[in-house]
Structure 1
Amino acid sequence: MVSKPFTVDLSKPVVFQVGHLGEAYEKWVNQPIVSKDGPRFFANDFCELLTLTKWWVIPLVWLPAVCWLVSVSIQRGLTSTEAASAVIGGIFIWTLLEYCLHRFLFHLKTTSYWGNTLNYLLHGCHHKHPLDRLRLVFPPAATAILCVPVWTVFRLLSTYSIAPALFGGGLLGYVIYDCTHYYLHHGKPSKGYGHILKRYHLNHHFKAQNKGFGITSSIWDHVFGTFPAPKVGET
């Protein structure tokens, strides 16, 4: 007797359901539901609350941290010009990190129960419900956890005085990324760079999920050959 394929019941908390999809998970998660109302994640109210974040929380929480990190570098001997250069360098490093995280972690192919579950929490939920306003930006608690290994790498690869400003630049790049990402889904740019970015990003969601991994810039998609090919007649 052939068993019936597992079906996710969106009227119930979904996080601990998606793992049961197995090999069908990738196809399911890339069939978006275009609705502003996302599903409930957890039965527990506190766990559910931790998954909900308004976009303005990101700059409110992290911009003061960026300023503090830059001030630490200046206190350790950097001039204002040197600190600004370190911040710019950190932003540039973030663009590569943004691309790599999106391509190699967020779009890692999974089939196991816990692999599917973790992928859904990290990024799959956004592809399934791309207009869910409260689950588009990263919750600060999750970002803080990811900051630990990133800070460790920055500290190992730079000097005692440069590391805070360099990391602050990376953190500023993240803030720009999350705010830009929110705008691309919920803003309405009609022309200019914003319009180009929105079209490029929505193509990733609705046409070619294996292309277009940059958010704030398409530079690394061009470098690594993952920029989506334009349609015939498209400029």
Structure 2
Amino acid sequence: MVDDYSFTVDLNKPIIFQVGHLREAYYEWVHQPIIDKECPRFFANDFFELLTRTAWWVVPVVWLPVASWFISMSSRMGLADHPDQLVLTVVSGIFVWTLVEYILHRFLFHMKTRSYWRNTIHYAIHGYHHKYPKDAMRLVMPPPAAAALSVPFWLLFKVLSPPSVAPALFGGAVLGYIAYDLTHYYPHHGKPSKKSTLKLKRYHLNHHFRIQSKGFGVTSSLWDYVFGTVPSTKAAEKKQN
């Protein structure tokens, strides 16, 4: 068995199956960012490694047609006769996504782990982004992972909504997801020039480099205000874990 306290990650080797050995030291290690443009390989296998890399433009190319198709499905099922209801449903889906985004970011992406497999899974879904926040090719979610995550939400919408409403509601949520991934990319790699975009960049990078336990909203800080996770603006406040 690897000694939890003496193990050191070798950044020159594929990393994904190493980080679990950090055990209780993992949470502190993963929140000590390394400002390189690319993080170490996840896998030795080239095919699996390719699946971990996604350019930002892939998100709208893949998911805008999906959102359009689901919205058009509701339109064909009768909502075309009620355009105001169709628009309201899509907007509601976008709004629902902002809550989903907050919940996933706070409770899944920032869960505290200490076992080998939980550390490994956490690193694969979000930990790598905090360790290497400047890696542009591992910032947005790869389509296969996003598709797998979308299935339970689609099934939930089908159960909770009328048949003609569920597709447009889900399509709106997909639009919200697109906005999330592109908005998330911008603070890390965009060059904001307006007050609003500068504020967005500061808000999100504050989450990365100063206080990772707050500031979970990316497309909107609404739910941070609702649930009391807005970070303090005091410059002297120390980073919390």
TM-score, normalization by structure 1: 0.96
Within 2, Cα distance between the matches of 1:156 and 1:80?
A: 23
Q: Does 1:116 align with 2:119?
A: yes
SS of equivalent residue, structure 2 residue 17 = helix
User: How does 1:1-235 map onto structure 2 within 5 Å?
Assistant: 5-78=6-79, 79-231=82-234
Within 1, Cα distance between the matches of 2:78 and 2:198?
A: 42
Question: 1:4 deviation in Å?
Answer: 5.6
Question: 1:189 deviation in Å?
Answer: 0.7
* Counterpart amino acid of residue 63 in structure 1: L
- Given the superposition, is the C-alpha separation of residues 16 and 80 from structure 1 closer, same or farther in structure 2, using an over 3 Å criterion? same
Within 1, Cα distance between the matches of 2:95 and 2:111?
A: 24
Within 2, Cα distance between the matches of 1:138 and 1:21?
A: 25
Within 1, Cα distance between the matches of 2:215 and 2:157?
A: 26
TM-score, normalization by structure 2: 0.94
* Counterpart amino acid of residue 213 in structure 1: F
CA-atom RMSD, angstroms? 1.3
Runs ≥4 in structure 1, deviation > 2 angstroms?
none
- Given the superposition, is the C-alpha separation of residues 137 and 85 from structure 1 closer, same or farther in structure 2, using an over 3 Å criterion? same
Residue-by-residue CA offset, 1:27-68 (whole Å, 9 max, x unaligned): 000000011122100001110000000000000000011111
Within 2, Cα distance between the matches of 1:232 and 1:214?
A: 20
Within 2, Cα distance between the matches of 1:182 and 1:232?
A: 25
SS of equivalent residue, structure 2 residue 18 = helix
Q: Which runs of 5+ in 1 are unaligned?
A: none
SS of equivalent residue, structure 2 residue 22 = helix
Question: 1:216 deviation in Å?
Answer: 0.7
- Tell me how many residue pairs correspond in the alignment: 232
Within 2, Cα distance between the matches of 1:36 and 1:4?
A: 28
Residue-by-residue CA offset, 1:166-222 (whole Å, 9 max, x unaligned): 000000000000001001100011332211111000000000000000001111001
The range that moved more, 4-13 or 172-181, is: 4-13
Q: Any conservation in 1 of the 2:4–2:23 contact (CA below 8 Å)?
A: no
SS of equivalent residue, structure 2 residue 36 = coil
- Given the superposition, is the C-alpha separation of residues 49 and 3 from structure 1 closer, same or farther in structure 2, using an over 3 Å criterion? closer
Within 2, Cα distance between the matches of 1:165 and 1:73?
A: 6
Within 2, Cα distance between the matches of 1:36 and 1:200?
A: 21
Within 2, Cα distance between the matches of 1:109 and 1:3?
A: 16
